[in-house]
Amino acid sequence: MEDDQINNSEVQKPLVDEVIYPDIEPGIINRSLIESSYLKHVHRGEGRRLHQLEPVVLEQILTMRLEFNNILRIDHLWILPNLTKLCLNCNKIETIENIEMLTNLKDLNLSFNFIEKIENLDTLVNLEVLSLFSNKIEAIENIDMLTMLVIISLGNNLIDTVEGIERFRFMNNLKIINLEGNPIAKRTNFCLLKYISAILPKLNYYEYTFIKSELRAEACNLY
């Protein structure tokens, strides 16, 4: 809510707050949360009950889903050395941290958090999918080492400049970018789609919509 709407916040609470932030005490990722989330998502019914009787082999876990847990801080993920997919969306995370050891990671979802800066991703050189949708990011930075990226979503952030977009030119596998919902995408007399189509000739999709050859040709004449 904006400052001038604070007085009405109790009666006009956005539905999204109720969905994204459940009534769970905010906290830090720990081993107990990791094990309970693994059992919750991997096994169902009788299979889950039987699996609970056995110790969780952390080294064998490839996917970890920790969304909707009111997480404030990332920690303890070093106990999952072979993780390839990590879902931390819909929490209250402010800083990307303590994931540099997850060098096998291919899919990282940090959307719907409170992250202000892209950082601490340099070691994740196998990352193919990165979602930072709906955070508080102001700059495209610290992504030079992510040369394996295929999809990156930075939509609904606070990015208000094209600076940093040129970094994507060196990612030969990149096919999909989303920057919609940022201030830079709302400027009058400026088409972000055309700008991206011109400077990123290998890109196939913008905001998950195919970039047609006619549009790219027009964009190249502009930029």
Q: Which residues pair with 206 in a beta bridge?
A: 177, 209
The reported pTM is 0.85
- Structure-token pair, residue 76: 């303890």
Degrees to nearest 5, angle at CA 68 with 67 and 74: 60
| Separation of alpha carbons 138 and 120, rounded Å | 16
Domains, the chain, in order of start with CATH, read 23-222 (3.80.10.10)
State residue 140's pLDDT score.
Answer: 98
If DSSP codes are grouped into helix, strand and coil, which group holds residue 86?
A: strand
- The confidence band for 39, taking pLDDT boundaries of 50, 70 and 90, is confident
Q: How far is CA 53 from CA 47, 56, 105, 112, 183, in A?
A: 10, 9, 28, 34, 51
| Separation of alpha carbons 136 and 116, rounded Å | 5
| Separation of alpha carbons 48 and 50, rounded Å | 5
Lowest-pLDDT choice from 3-17, 69-83, 121-135, 160-174: 3-17
pLDDT digits (tens, 9 = 90+) for 199-213: 999 999 999 899 999
